Each structure stands twice: as structure tokens, then as C-alpha cells.
């Protein structure tokens, strides 16, 4: 299993979504679904914010407790 930090995995996922959105094969697809790539991007943006905030809060708590 890959043990990359969560923010790094999220960043890689965001880049893949951008690549999919720009891919010529994706652009010609005609399908209807409840979730769009914009929804997925927003999810990763929110997840990135939460992961970063939690990491900073943990560092602050650990830094002050020493």
C-alpha cells in the first residue's frame, strides 16, 4: 500500500480529474449522470481544505504541548 500523505494523494487526484476533463475522448462522450467532474473537483477541494486544516491543527497542538 502506498503511504503518501493524504494531501499529496488528493493533489494527484485533482490533477487526474483535470486531465480527464481535458482529454479528447472525454470531451466527445455523451452521457448523463448525477455527478459531474465539477462536483468531483469541488469534493477534492473541500477534502484538501479539511485535510490541510486538520494537519495544521494537529501540528499546532503538538507544538504547544511540548
| pTM recorded for the entire structure | 0.70
Domain ranges of the chain: 1-7+36-66
Q: Going residue by residue through the chain (66 aa), what tens digit of pLDDT does each one get?
A: 568 888 899 999 999 999 999 999 998 988 788 888 899 999 999 999 998 888 666 766 666 554
10 burial via Cβ count (<10 Å: 0-12, 13-18, 19+): buried
Do 26 and 10 touch, CB atoms closer than 8 A? no
Amino acid at each position: 500500500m502506498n503511504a503518501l500523505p493524504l494531501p499529496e494523494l488528493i493533489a494527484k487526484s485533482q490533477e487526474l480529474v483535470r486531465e480527464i476533463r481535458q482529454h479528447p475522448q472525454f470531451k466527445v462522450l455523451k452521457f448523463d449522470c448525477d455527478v459531474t467532474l465539477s462536483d468531483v473537483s469541488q469534493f477534492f477541494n473541500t477534502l484538501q481544505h479539511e485535510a490541510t486544516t486538520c494537519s495544521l491543527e494537529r501540528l499546532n497542538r503538538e507544538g504547544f504541548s511540548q
